[in-house]
Amino acid sequence: IGIIGINVYYLITSLVDWLVHNDVPKLGNVFIGIVVLTLTAIYIIAIGITGELPHVYMHSLADVTKTYKEIESKKDVQNVE
């Protein structure tokens, strides 16, 4: 999440710098700012949600994978060795 935070910070500061120093009328800057910052907020929320979902999913799974062979009788033990 640290790298994503740095990227979002860079994008927002670049947007603000561009909005301050461009030749677009103020009304255009307002609409551009509203649209871009709304999309940025949606992006941050989406990352927050999807960042938590894999953890919840993995904790809810039952451990059903068997990584060993079950031996049912002593006869099977002799055959394995």
Question: What pTM was computed for the model?
Answer: 0.55
What confidence score (pLDDT) does residue 60 get?
63
What confidence score (pLDDT) does residue 26 get?
93
Q: What DSSP state is assigned to residue 62? A: -
Element at 67 (helix H, strand E): none
Q: Is pLDDT of 79 > 90? A: no
User: Is the CB of residue 22 less than 8 Å from the CB of residue 29?
Assistant: yes
Residues 6+ positions from 33 with CB-CB distance below 8 Å: 15, 19
User: Is the CB of residue 11 less than 8 Å from the CB of residue 40?
Assistant: yes
Considering the chain, what is the average pLDDT of its residues? 77
What is the residue extent of each domain of the chain?
Answer: 2-60
